[in-house]
Structure 1
């Protein structure tokens, strides 16, 4: 198997196209991608390679995209993410991901804020986007996958194009055509709530993303695998399964890492727990990425139904794991060697801390710093660094840290210390051995199955209801999703009911943003003297109440 050499001074598409070019010559007819549910025919490495160059050609010569133009991909999981994303990288465009199930309100906000020039989505979503086109002055092209049910009559100046015709075009493009400065030119624009407020575009450069791949690879090679000699060095290509959403950075990083490694990836269009376990057994998958909520689910399935004997390693992101969860997983998976977990955030291109295996990770710790990263614990009031075992705000710095927030100088300035450390908004402590413990959040974001939900977005919507005078939203514990949004509502009309509120949000918010944590009517929303909602006080009161 070839050694993959990643140079952070060369753009991502050089790495991907180079690897695929090699596989296209040595393994042209071998399968790169296959669908778990027959959504698309098997795709060879040569077909993926050609589709990237064809897409880059079309972007550059037909759509005439320029460096810095934004391409938003809003699709369920499919192999088409790769040509759409890497093709954009080839021409210097910036890729932003969006949930294909986003409501019209959410879609308007994300496309408008990103100033997206191109959106790639499903045929079913074309009418939804055309219905909001007046609010999207930058949008010029809608690319789609699937069959359009109706003739498009309201496209106006927007061109609607079948993406299958794009990837079937001439595979002729020189990836060196557009000069890229990896340290300053953007690769992607994922959206995050940051420490407060509405979602903001996180400016990730090629240098940021490539360094994340380098750091994760270094950690695995130098600090994980040497402690598990029973894991023989991989000498043949394997099967992999990807089910985490590709519009989320965690999912897309996993997809690209396996592609350049040359493995065959089985893609799940949508997550199905039993479907995932079936695939692991059927294809003898050796490694899988999980979120904490899936640990209990796997342990609940009988070994008689799913042996899962092929699983040798598990990586987990999105939230902290308990020692009990790890222990139960080892008991359930007979050949599991290790569970790799840590801490990260969108603004850091992924992980900044992970567990090491030179010794047992202390209870409650999420790991230690990864190579090339630095951290600092700071008193939130004085902004002074504190010593070991003292709780403060976690600040981090390193080559993976974002360039800033898209079109938002004020938020960017607030996010960084003068010496370049990123203020994470997480309360944490570090012990004398350098282990990091996440204690709580200063930031307001709610995490539902590791996906960010900004309370301000839900509050702004609720206050549009004529019977709602004021509202506050917090995240409360949920045994399935980790956290769930809960609303505290001040009525403007005494006749308002819980059902009315839920019906109001149903078609305006994505499913994971619904108020599954409950709705409570209150006389007033708890705020400080400046009018800021005291979410931590609301959460403390809620937790005290459920404990008693």
Structure 2
């Protein structure tokens, strides 16, 4: 509830007098029970919950006809997963992007494949630009760089009298000299104002001066009908720096490691191939907010 999505939904619903059903933890079947019981029409989900919605067969046990809209944000999402959710539950889908530090940045209804890859358009009150990671110069439209945002709601001149020195220093470092907030996210916007979030900069796999997005690889791998879930990390390599490695949860026992390699090799350029290997696991470790715990995956890879 301290995240921008939870806070924003609860505050907005309270202002509008809309009943809100809150759950202590993520449980898709309990979500179905509540949708049926309270005739829920709108739900918010983190991307891993979308994968559960696609994979579960328990949805047929409940009356979910009241559900009309699904909203998701928090990480880059696979267009194939979004489309499967739309088709399976016959709902409209809203993609969003935001941060607890600054609020909701962009939002939009998914209508086609391009909008399924985006996080909607920048919302009123915000400006966005991307900057080159090395030079910090502004990137042309359509070019990936660090996403930076600006809004009149930022109070960068506050003295933060109640904060410790280290927090004041950290706050100052979060803004550039022109007052733009450094999101730490890699992405771009297009000529129509759509926002495309690629990945967190600190999670980018770096090898031979090439950058590989774990989220992009995950999006391709999860599109395989025999894959239930996936997490990608970079593992150390003396020659390349890092190599992509995928931890995969099969939804079908007939899935092979070669199948995973094949779908990546058919869709992505050579330097993005899984030269760090593929490993089948039972679950992908995730935080309470549904984000992949890549540090846990790195520890798993180290112990092999």
Preserved contact between residue 94 and residue 110 of structure 2 (Cα < 8 Å): no
1:282 matches 2:54: no
1:441 matches 2:208: no
Could you tell me which residue of structure 2 aligns to residue 292 of structure 1? Answer: 47
For residues 21-58 of structure 1, the C-alpha deviation after alignment (integer angstroms, 9 at most, x for no partner) is xxxxxxxxxxxxxxxxxxxxxxxxxxxxxxxxxxxxxx
Matches within 5 A, 1:211-230: none
Give the TM-score, by structure 2 length. Answer: 0.62
User: Structure 1 residue aligned with 2:8, among 239, 253, 256?
Assistant: 253
Q: Give the C-alpha shift of residue 433 in structure 1.
A: 1.9
User: Structure 2 residue aligned with 1:413, among 160, 172, 197?
Assistant: 172
Q: Which runs of 5+ in 2 are unaligned?
A: 205-213, 237-285
Preserved contact between residue 143 and residue 188 of structure 2 (Cα < 8 Å): yes
Preserved contact between residue 486 and residue 516 of structure 1 (Cα < 8 Å): no
User: Structure 2 residue aligned with 1:392, among 145, 159, 173?
Assistant: 145
Preserved contact between residue 484 and residue 516 of structure 1 (Cα < 8 Å): no
Could you tell me which residue of structure 2 aligns to residue 271 of structure 1? Answer: 26
Aligned length: 225
- Name the CA distance, whole Å, in 1 between partners of 2:302 and 2:112: 49
3-state DSSP class of the match of 2:20? strand
- Name the CA distance, whole Å, in 1 between partners of 2:198 and 2:137: 18
For residues 323-343 of structure 1, the C-alpha deviation after alignment (integer angstroms, 9 at most, x for no partner) is 212221122113x2x211121
Matches within 5 A, 1:109-258: 246-258=1-13
1:431 matches 2:190: yes
User: Structure 1 residue aligned with 2:127, among 340, 357, 374?
Assistant: 374
Could you tell me which residue of structure 1 aligns to residue 71 of structure 2? Answer: 315
- Name the CA distance, whole Å, in 2 between partners of 1:409 and 1:249: 21
Q: Give the C-alpha shift of residue 265 in structure 1.
A: 2.9
User: Structure 2 residue aligned with 1:341, among 95, 105, 108?
Assistant: 95
Change (3 A) 1:277 1:385: same
For residues 111-160 of structure 1, the C-alpha deviation after alignment (integer angstroms, 9 at most, x for no partner) is xxxxxxxxxxxxxxxxxxxxxxxxxxxxxxxxxxxxxxxxxxxxxxxxxx
For residues 191-249 of structure 1, the C-alpha deviation after alignment (integer angstroms, 9 at most, x for no partner) is xxxxxxxxxxxxxxxxxxxxxxxxxxxxxxxxxxxxxxxxxxxxxxxxxxxxxxx2433
- Name the CA distance, whole Å, in 2 between partners of 1:312 and 1:412: 40
Q: Give the C-alpha shift of residue 515 in structure 1.
A: 5.6
For residues 272-298 of structure 1, the C-alpha deviation after alignment (integer angstroms, 9 at most, x for no partner) is 221111110111111111111112322
- Name the CA distance, whole Å, in 1 between partners of 2:101 and 2:228: 26
Give the TM-score, by structure 1 length. Answer: 0.36
Could you tell me which residue of structure 2 aligns to residue 324 of structure 1? Answer: 80
- Name the CA distance, whole Å, in 1 between partners of 2:67 and 2:235: 40
- Name the CA distance, whole Å, in 1 between partners of 2:34 and 2:100: 29
3-state DSSP class of the match of 2:202? coil
Change (3 A) 1:273 1:435: same
- Name the CA distance, whole Å, in 1 between partners of 2:118 and 2:89: 23
Could you tell me which residue of structure 2 aligns to residue 519 of structure 1? Answer: 300
Could you tell me which residue of structure 1 aligns to residue 108 of structure 2? Answer: 355
- Name the CA distance, whole Å, in 1 between partners of 2:296 and 2:111: 41
Change (3 A) 1:358 1:330: closer
Change (3 A) 1:409 1:329: same
- Name the CA distance, whole Å, in 1 between partners of 2:24 and 2:112: 38
- Name the CA distance, whole Å, in 2 between partners of 1:428 and 1:511: 23
- Name the CA distance, whole Å, in 2 between partners of 1:482 and 1:371: 35
Could you tell me which residue of structure 2 aligns to residue 40 of structure 1? Answer: none
3-state DSSP class of the match of 2:21? strand
Question: Larger radius of gyration, structure 1 or 2?
Answer: 1
- Name the CA distance, whole Å, in 2 between partners of 1:514 and 1:389: 28
Preserved contact between residue 429 and residue 438 of structure 1 (Cα < 8 Å): yes
For residues 154-212 of structure 1, the C-alpha deviation after alignment (integer angstroms, 9 at most, x for no partner) is xxxxxxxxxxxxxxxxxxxxxxxxxxxxxxxxxxxxxxxxxxxxxxxxxxxxxxxxxxx
Change (3 A) 1:515 1:381: closer
Change (3 A) 1:357 1:289: closer
Q: CA RMSD in A?
A: 3.5
